[in-house]
Amino acid sequence: DTHADYYPEVQYYGGRVYGEMGDYPKALRHFQNALDKLPPETDQIILRRNVLNQMARLLDDLRLYKEAIPLVEQTLEINRRLNRPEDIVHDLHLLGHIYMHTEEYKKAERYFREAVKDSKDLNIYFRAKSQMLLAAAKSRLGDMDSALKLIRHTPDSVHPFTRCFALSYAADIYLAEGILDTAYAYAHELIYGKNRDNEATGYSVMLSPKMKSRISMEEREHY
């Protein structure tokens, strides 16, 4: 019985190792083995939550969005039951992120709006990231006034690791609204800043037809 108690945990860590190695099929197999031994009424509810979370994130990476959604929903339900505010916001972000990928922007907006509400008493990084993601959903829905209000000051408020994403969303939103100086500044940082994960967005903004009036032909040729 003692060995049986440890079996789900061993399978969970096996899944984590294979996930880090990039072997997603083996990782998912280990996670499923763990989940089979962790029914909803298990007394190892934290472990069940962790397994569900890791499975959902791997499925999201594999673009198996329909399979990931119910797992995140279960994780969210557990975190709400356990009253874990930060984990709740992480789950809401992930659900909204998945629905952005499936182009169900109204659903994404709903989860991001809920994240903004639930992060009001948390660290400023949580609130800023929630506002950033809600701005992205609003822009996809064509509500640019709301997107602009939400994204304002967000690049300076998010965690440094998230700044490049905030700059990317902000550059697109300010460009769409014709606020070219700010769009230029954000695009410039995306291209020349320390973190250049989203530099493609920077180039896209710089070379957009709207930016013709802001930068010279010589500068455009440089990009």
Q: pLDDT tens track of the chain, all 223 residues? A: 455 678 999 999 999 999 999 999 999 999 999 999 999 999 999 999 999 999 999 999 999 999 999 999 999 999 999 999 999 999 999 999 999 999 999 999 999 999 999 999 999 999 999 999 999 999 999 999 999 999 999 999 999 999 999 999 999 999 999 999 999 999 999 998 877 677 889 999 998 988 877 776 556 556 5
Q: What single DSSP character describes residue 142? A: T
Neighbours of 160 (CB within 10 A): 9
Q: With a threshold of 0.95, does the pTM exceed it?
A: no
> In this structure, how many other beta carbons lie within 10 angstroms of the beta carbon of residue 133?
28
- The closest of 61, 36, 151 to 52, measured between CA atoms, is 36
- d(Cα 142, Cα 110) in Å, to the nearest integer? 15
Structure tokens at 158: 């998010």
DSSP class of residue 154 equals: G
